[in-house]
Structure 1
Amino acid sequence: MTDDTNTNPDTNATTAPSNTTVTPDDISRYSLAFESDRANRVAANAAVSNGVLAAATSYRGVRDLPRDFNVQLKQGSITNQRRSGRCWMFASLNTLRYEVMHRWNLDDFEFSENYLFFWDKIEKANVYLENVLATLDEPTDSRTFEVINEGPVDDGGWWQMFVNLADKYGLVPKSAYPESANSMDSDAFVQYLNTVLRGFAARLREAHAQGADMARLRQMKDDDMAVVYRMTAIALGEPPTHFEFTARTKGDADDGEAAEDVEKNGGEKKADDSADAGADAASADDSAAPAPKDGTENYDGTDRSGIIHEESITPLEFMHKYVPVSPDDFVTLCNAPMDRTPFGKRYAIKWSTNVAGTEQMTFVNVPMDTLRDAAVRQLEAGHPLWFACDCMQFALRGKGIFDPATVRVDELFGIELPYEKGEAIEYGDAPSNHAMTLTGVNLDADGRPNRWKVENSWGKTAGEDGYFVASNDWFDRYVTELVVRTDLLDDATRAILGTPVVEVEPWEPLTRPCE
C-alpha cells in the first residue's frame, strides 16, 4: 500500500495509513518482490502444477515417520462412512467392536452404523422440536435460536451422543441392518428433513403467537414426529426389533493368538485383559452366560463347533450380552488451553444433547500431558480410544499422514504459522471436525510417544489400507478430545468427575460436532 503513515512528533505515535485500498503501485511492489526471489518462482511452479499439499510434502518428513509401532492392537477390517458425516458413530463402534472381536474370538466383526443413524435422526428431530417449544418467545435472530435452528438433524456428533443412542436402542450387527443409499450419501435426505423440521418450527411458533396452549402445541409436535418417522423409514428402512445372529469363532489353533492382541516392544506381545474381563462379566451375568441346552453348548453361548447363534434377539439384549464393556464406562477428556476454560474442571455445552432427557455434552478439560498419558495407558492395557481432532491440518489423505514436519506449507509459502493451540481454538482455526480411533503408539527409549497409529473410517483407499500415522507433534496440536475408560483414569482426573459442571454457551470455541 502507499506509505501515508504519519508520525506525531509530540507523542511519537504512529497513525494508520489514510489510504485503505490496494493501489496499482502496491501491486507492482508486491509483484516485484515476488519475482525477484527464485524460491517463489520454484514454489509457484510446484504448487500450480501439483496443488499446495503435494508441493509442500517433505520427503524427509515422510521418511522420518515410519509406520512401525511397538504398541498396537489387532483391529478388524477397515470401515467406510462414505459420503456421510457419521465419523463419530464409526469411531465409537470401531472402539467397541474391537472388544467384541477379542472377547468372542472372532476374525472380524462390524456393527450396523445405519441402525444408529436411523435413531439419531429420530432423536435429533425430537430434541429440535423440544428446543423450539422451550424457546417459543425467543427471537428468531437471537444467538440461542440460531444455534438451535442451524442444522436440526445434521449428521455430526460426539461420543456422548453415541452413548445416548446405544443406552436407549442397543446395537445390532451390520448383517441385521445393512447400509442404505441414504446412509452412505446422506446430503439429500438430511437437507429435506431439515427443511420439513424448520417448517414445523415455524408452525409451532405461529400457533403459540396466536394463543394455542401447550397441550395443542404438543399434539402438533406429536403429529410432526410421525412425519419424521415416515420420512426416515422411507430413506433408511425400518430398523429391526428382533434379529437372527450367527458368528463363527476362530478354532483352537487360533485361541492363543486371539488373546495376545497387543503387540509390544518389537514383537513381544502382551495379553489383553479384556478377554478375562469379558469372561468375568459373562459369568456374573446370567443373560451373558445362558445355561447349557441339551449339553451341546458351552458356558459362553457357543456350541462345540464354535458357532454363536441367536434365533431372535433384541438390540438391547445383543448389546448387553455380547459387548463386554458398557458405553457408560468412559469419560471424555478435552485439551482446550484457553483462559476461559481452566484445566481441572468439568464443562457442559448447553443445547448439545441428541436425546431428550439426557445430559448435555460434558467433558473434563485437562493438560496435554494428562491427555497423552491417558492414551498411552489405555493402549498399553489393550484397548483402543475414540478421539476428535482437526483432521484438515497438515494432513495427506492419500499417504495417510498427519504431521507438520511432513506437510511443510510454512516452507512452501515462506511463512511462520502464528498459533499456539489455545489461540487456534479461540480464533476458530482448529476446531474438532472428525473422530477416529487410536489403535497403536510408538514409545521411545524413555517411554514417551513419538507417533500414533490411527484407524480411520474413509475406506481402504485413504491412507495405507485405511490407516494413518500421526506424529506426536500433530497429536499435541490438533487432538482436542479423547474418550478414556473410567477405570484407567489417573486419580487426579477421576476426582474431577464428582465436581459440579460449568455450563458454557454452544457458540463458545471449545469443541464442535465431528463429521
Structure 2
Amino acid sequence: MTEINQELTKTFREEFLMNRKQVALQRGVVKNGIVESAENVSAHVKNAPVFSIDLTTGKVSDQKQSGRCWMFAALNTFRHKMITSYQLKDFELSQNYTFFWDKYEKANYFYQNILNTAKEPTASREVAFLMQTPQQDGGQWDMIVSIFQKYGVVPKAVMPESKNSINSRNLNNYLNKLLRKHAVILRQLVAENASPEQIEDNRQAMLQEVYNFLAISLGTPPEEFDFEYRDEEKNYHIDQGMTPQSFYKKYVDVDLDEYVSIIHAPTDDKPFNQSYTVDMLGNVVGGKQVKYLNLEMPELKKLALQQLEQGETVWFGCDVGQSSVSKDGIMALDIFDMDDLFDTDFAMTKAERLDYGESMMTHAMVLTGVDVINGESAKWKVENSWGEKVGEKGYFVMSDDWMSEYTYQIVVRKEFLSPEQRAAFEAEPKVLAPWDPMGALA
C-alpha cells in the first residue's frame, strides 16, 4: 500500500505554480467553468444544421423531468408517419398512456424475477441487482414494442400528461418502495413452501395495489374514445368508438415484428455478426425478447442511411452526455479541447469505455436526416425530446465521428439486412449478464 507523501505533493504544487500557461488557464477555468473554457467554436461551424436528406417531422416533443426518451423516440417515429399520411399539425401520441402500461407490466416482470431468484440469498449479485432498482423510467426498443403490441396507442388528447408523468421522481420512489415490500412477501412465501395458488393470489393482490397506485398518479387509461382532428387544410375528421388497438391498426399500421435492433459493441466478449440478449431484461412477461445483432460501425451506418433514404426515420440509442452541448444541439468529438486545456490525454477506445464503465447507452432519440458528401455520411440530424429551447428548435446535429464513438444502437427494418445478417440475427442469441453495458436502459 502506497500513501501520498506530503513532500511529493509540495513538489507538485511548486511545479504547477512555475508553469505560467497552467496558472493562466487556472484563472479562466476557475471563473468560467471547465466545459465553457474548453468549447471549440470551429466545431459549431463544421456542424451547421444543413442536410442533404432532411425528412419532415414537425414540432419536437418534451419528456420534461422524466426518463421516457426511449418511449418518446418510438412514439415520434409513429407520429412522423401519421403527420405525413393524415396532414396533421403539432400532433402527438400519448406518452402517459404507454408510461402507465409500462410501469404496470414492469411490476409483474419484477415479481417474476423475484420468484425465479427466491431461493438465492439476498446478498447474491442477481438479487442485489433486482433490489437496487426494481423498476425505472428507461427501456429498450423491444420493451416498447411489447407495450404497443399488447396495449396499442392513443392520441395525447385522450390521455394527456400528468404531474407525475412529466416529473416522475416521486412516482418512482414510492413505486419502488412498494415493489421492494412485495419482494419481501414473495420471498417469504417461497421460503414457507406456499402453494402456487397462494403465491398467485398474493401476486394478483399486489398487482391490484400497483394498478391503484398508477391510476391515482397517472389517470385511468381509456378503453374507448373518439378521434377528432383537423388536417392542414382545416378539414374536420372524426372516428368514433376507437380502442387503443384499433387506433394503432388503422392510423399507425406498422408491423413491429419487421424491425430489428442493431448494436455496435466492439468488446472482446461480443464478436460481430452474432445476436445477443440480456438476462432479466424486459417489461412484459410473455412479451418480445430483447434481442440485438452486433455489427461493425460502417454496417450500422449503412443500414441507418438506407432507411432514411426510403423516407423513414430511425430510432437510435447513444451516450448523449459525452462531448455534447445541449443548448446548441451539437454532438461532436471536437466540441471541447479538454486534452489541451488540462495538458493530458483522456482518450479511451470505445471498447475500453464499455468495459470500464466510462460509457454506455443513456438516451434514445430519432435520426431524421443525414448529410451525405461524396457517398459518405458527414453528419446526422437528430430529433430530441427535450422541447424546443435546446438545439435548433429541439433538433441536434451529430457529427459522423461522434456517431462512431457514442452511438450504440439503431432500429431498422429487416428488409435492409443482408441474408447473412438476417440469419445471424435469427440465430439463438448469446445471453449476457443483467449488468452488462448492453443492458443499459435509455
Q: TM-score, normalised by structure 1?
A: 0.84
Instruction: Return the match for 2:368 from 423, 439, 442.
Output: 439
Instruction: Return the match for 1:496 from 417, 424, 427.
Output: 424
Deviation digits for residues 190-224 of structure 1 (CA, Å, limit 9, x no counterpart): 10110011001101212222232221111111111
CA separation in 2, counterparts of 1:319 and 1:328?
A: 14
Q: Is the 8 A contact 2:146 2:288 kept in 1?
A: no
Deviation at 1:413, TM superposition (A): 1.4
Deviation digits for residues 60-81 of structure 1 (CA, Å, limit 9, x no counterpart): 2222221111111111211110
CA separation in 2, counterparts of 1:244 and 1:42?
A: 65
Q: Is the 8 A contact 2:281 2:439 kept in 1?
A: no
The code of the aligned residue for 1:317 comes to S
Pair 1:248-2:227 in alignment: no
CA separation in 1, counterparts of 2:378 and 2:439?
A: 25
Shift in CA distance, 306/496, structure 1 to aligned 2, threshold 3 Å: farther
Shift in CA distance, 42/376, structure 1 to aligned 2, threshold 3 Å: farther
Structure 2 equivalent of residue 20 of structure 1: 2
Pair 1:101-2:83 in alignment: yes
Q: Is the 8 A contact 2:145 2:288 kept in 1?
A: no
Higher alpha-carbon deviation: 57-66 or 235-244? 57-66
Classify the secondary structure of the residue corresponding to 1:218.
helix
Pair 1:126-2:55 in alignment: no
Deviation at 1:92, TM superposition (A): 0.6
CA separation in 2, counterparts of 1:233 and 1:64?
A: 48
Deviation at 1:241, TM superposition (A): 0.4
The code of the aligned residue for 1:224 comes to M
Structure 2 equivalent of residue 393 of structure 1: 322
Classify the secondary structure of the residue corresponding to 1:117.
helix
Classify the secondary structure of the residue corresponding to 2:118.
coil
Q: Is the 8 A contact 1:403 1:470 kept in 2?
A: yes
Mapping of residues 211-222 of structure 1, within 5 Å: 211-222=193-204
The code of the aligned residue for 1:508 comes to D
Pair 1:450-2:378 in alignment: yes
Structure 2 equivalent of residue 328 of structure 1: 257
Classify the secondary structure of the residue corresponding to 2:170.
helix
The code of the aligned residue for 2:370 comes to V
Pair 1:422-2:330 in alignment: no
Mapping of residues 282-293 of structure 1, within 5 Å: none
Classify the secondary structure of the residue corresponding to 2:108.
helix
Instruction: Return the match for 1:136 from 108, 111, 118.
Output: 118
Deviation at 1:319, TM superposition (A): 0.3
CA separation in 2, counterparts of 1:511 and 1:372?
A: 21
Structure 1 equivalent of residue 16 of structure 2: 34
The code of the aligned residue for 1:384 comes to T
Instruction: Return the match for 2:400 from 472, 491, 497.
Output: 472
Instruction: Return the match for 2:221 from 239, 246, 249.
Output: 239
Q: Is the 8 A contact 2:275 2:426 kept in 1?
A: no
Shift in CA distance, 209/486, structure 1 to aligned 2, threshold 3 Å: same
Q: TM-score, normalised by structure 2?
A: 0.97
Deviation at 1:233, TM superposition (A): 0.3
Q: Is the 8 A contact 2:292 2:425 kept in 1?
A: no
Instruction: Return the match for 2:169 from 163, 175, 187.
Output: 187
Structure 2 equivalent of residue 406 of structure 1: 335
Q: Is the 8 A contact 2:279 2:433 kept in 1?
A: yes
Pair 1:92-2:80 in alignment: no
Q: Is the 8 A contact 2:278 2:439 kept in 1?
A: no
The code of the aligned residue for 1:30 comes to F
CA separation in 2, counterparts of 1:182 and 1:479?
A: 30
Segments of structure 2 that go 5 or more residues without pairing to the other structure are none
Structure 2 equivalent of residue 157 of structure 1: 139
Structure 2 equivalent of residue 510 of structure 1: 438
Q: Is the 8 A contact 2:143 2:288 kept in 1?
A: no
CA separation in 1, counterparts of 2:343 and 2:179?
A: 48
The code of the aligned residue for 2:396 comes to F
Q: Is the 8 A contact 1:332 1:483 kept in 2?
A: yes
CA separation in 1, counterparts of 2:35 and 2:255?
A: 41
Kindly, what percent of the aligned residue pairs are identical? 37
Instruction: Return the match for 1:178 from 126, 150, 160.
Output: 160
Classify the secondary structure of the residue corresponding to 2:102.
helix
Deviation at 1:43, TM superposition (A): 2.4
Instruction: Return the match for 1:337 from 259, 266, 282.
Output: 266
Classify the secondary structure of the residue corresponding to 1:175.
coil
Structure 2 equivalent of residue 381 of structure 1: 310
Structure 2 equivalent of residue 300 of structure 1: none
Q: Is the 8 A contact 1:249 1:306 kept in 2?
A: yes
Structure 2 equivalent of residue 209 of structure 1: 191
Deviation digits for residues 210-263 of structure 1 (CA, Å, limit 9, x no counterpart): 232221111111111110000000000101001111122233xxxxxxxxxxxx
Structure 2 equivalent of residue 307 of structure 1: 236
Structure of higher CA gyration radius: 1
CA separation in 1, counterparts of 2:243 and 2:273?
A: 40
Q: Is the 8 A contact 1:351 1:360 kept in 2?
A: no
Q: Flag as ranges the 4+ runs of structure 1 deviating above 4 A.
A: none
Deviation at 1:510, TM superposition (A): 2.5
CA separation in 2, counterparts of 1:497 and 1:401?
A: 33
Shift in CA distance, 307/489, structure 1 to aligned 2, threshold 3 Å: farther
CA separation in 1, counterparts of 2:20 and 2:329?
A: 31
Q: Is the 8 A contact 1:88 1:435 kept in 2?
A: yes
CA separation in 1, counterparts of 2:289 and 2:27?
A: 50
Classify the secondary structure of the residue corresponding to 2:135.
coil
Deviation digits for residues 291-320 of structure 1 (CA, Å, limit 9, x no counterpart): xxxxxxxxxxxxxx8433112200000000
Classify the secondary structure of the residue corresponding to 1:386.
strand
The code of the aligned residue for 2:421 comes to T
The code of the aligned residue for 2:438 comes to L
Deviation digits for residues 15-73 of structure 1 (CA, Å, limit 9, x no counterpart): xxxx7112221222212222222332232222222221111101122222211111111
Deviation digits for residues 149-172 of structure 1 (CA, Å, limit 9, x no counterpart): 221221110111110000000000
Structure 2 equivalent of residue 485 of structure 1: 413
Structure 2 equivalent of residue 358 of structure 1: 287
Higher alpha-carbon deviation: 481-490 or 386-395? 481-490
Deviation digits for residues 59-116 of structure 1 (CA, Å, limit 9, x no counterpart): 1222222111111111121111011010000011111111111122223321100000
Structure 2 equivalent of residue 7 of structure 1: none
